[in-house]
Amino acid sequence: MRVKTFDILRGISILLMLITHGFLYWLDPKDAYILIIFRFISNTFLVNGFIFVSGLGFGFSWSHQIENGTLKKEIYRRSLIRTFIILILSFIYNIVAVPINDYGWNNIWYWYILQTIAFSRLFGLVLIKIPKRIRFLFLLTLIILTPVLLNWLQMTKGLNNMANIIYFILFNQINANSILIFLPFFLMGTILGQEIFELQMSKDSNKGMLKKWLVLGFIMLLSGIIIGSLQYSDSELGTYYIQKLNRNPNWNVHTLPLFLIRGSYAWCIYSIGWEILVLVIVFYIVEVKRKNKGLEEKSNLLVLFGKYSLSIYLYHYLFFIIQLECSPIFIGIPIIILILTVWLFVNFLNRCEDGTYSIEYLISFIVKQVKLK
């Protein structure tokens, strides 16, 4: 059972990824400050947004299967098979990335998004049984305690072998997508995914629930901004942004508000707030307003990007074999060509026996085959 809202949200993340990677690989390095300015916007719904939507689908699917009378043992089996496939893909991805990025082979263990999603799903299988309110308190606690642990590990990893091992397992590398930093996004998604299922099953008006989410989103968004505006970062988390911003000869940036620093606790709270607000808006337009008017459902660009997000993620790097160094004036041209080409590609996938040749279809096929044995 596909939820169009989830596809659209996933499509937004993929679209932001294509634009961000276009800037990253094709923009002249001396103009890298433009990439950082765009990332201040895109980071609210980029990797974290994709993981958030993965949690939405996970929570919704769990409740849907329970409602259909599927045995929990069978639900666990299906989810573990899917998770194991994603984990295999993540390690293949990591192995390929090592020589391409000229990393040491110890970086086969690296928190790229696929590895983060796989382990988030494993934690999700354990934590999904916990009541939603307790799960919400747990994710807030994780957001608050993670920087405390990170700071301690950064101070002691050079002196203590155990601290070095723990740091490597949990945070390699700090500019990647650490499980402790990004798990809260997945858990927030599982909570709202379950609530969306309950909302769709209920015959009562959904306006009250949407207002509750709206309030929660505004509270988290404003809390992140306020807390993050009172604190500034010049630490390891913020170094990358500061260095790139100073590529502009007229700027001399030393610190940044904490809510703009990807991976900080203020950024986590701020970004989750944004994601909830975007979810409410898209859900109301797609699942409430359009359905009430009986409007015809169409597969637009965002829906297709969301439906074939994994295929796009794995294949889109092939475009960056083409090496460019565009000025800020012309960078938009190759990025638009990239987006249009990917759109044509997923249109082709969708028209060929409804996605039979996509990675998503292959994963679903394997899950069904293993289930039948």
Reported as a single tens digit per residue, the pLDDT across 248-262 is: 999 998 889 999 999
Q: What is the pLDDT of residue 373?
A: 47
Cα-Cα-Cα-Cα dihedral sign, residues 263, 265, 268, 274: negative
What pLDDT score does 294 carry?
52
272-302, pLDDT tens digit by residue? 999 999 999 999 998 887 766 555 556 689 9
Lowest mean pLDDT among 58-62, 97-101, 127-131, 351-355: 351-355
Q: How many CA atoms lie within 13 A of 86 on its CB side?
A: 22
* pLDDT value at 90 more than 70: yes
DSSP string, 27-87: B-GGGHHHHHHHHHHHTTSSHHHHHHHHHHHHHHHHHHHHHTT--HHHHHHHHHHHHHHHH
- Whether residue 372 is predicted with pLDDT greater than 50 in this model: the reply is no
Is 266 strand, coil or helix? helix
Question: Mean pLDDT over all residues of the chain?
Answer: 90
φ/ψ of 170, rounded to 5, equals -90, -25
Q: Which residues have C-beta within 8 Å of that of residue 111, sequence separation ≥ 6?
A: 171, 172, 173, 176, 177, 178, 179
The most confident of the ranges 95-109, 147-161, 315-329 is 315-329
pLDDT at 296: 55
**Closest residue by Cα to residue 4 from 295, 221, 210, 207:** 295
Would you give the DSSP letter of residue 296?
A: P
> Residue 174: what pLDDT?
84
Q: What is the pLDDT of residue 86?
A: 95
The whole-number average pLDDT for the span 139-148 is: 96
Decide if 224 contacts 259 (C-beta within 8 A): yes
Residue type, 6: F
Q: Closest Cα to residue 262, out of 49, 56, 105?
A: 49
Q: How many percent of the chain have pLDDT more than 70?
A: 94
In this predicted model, what pLDDT tens digit does every residue of 174-217 receive, in sequence order?
A: 889 999 999 999 999 999 999 999 988 876 667 788 999 999 99
**312-332 pLDDT tens trace:** 999 999 999 999 999 999 999
pLDDT of residue 216: 96
Q: If you ran DSSP here, which 8-state letter would residue 206 be given?
A: S
Contacts of residue 156, defined as CB under 8 A and 6 or more positions apart, other chains included, come to: 163
Which pLDDT tens digit goes with each residue over 10-65?
A: 999 999 999 999 999 999 999 999 999 999 999 999 999 999 999 999 999 999 99
Q: In 3D, which of 120, 115, 117, 81 has the Cα closest to residue 365? A: 81
Percent of the chain with pLDDT over 90: 71
Instruction: Give strand pairing partners of 326.
Output: 27
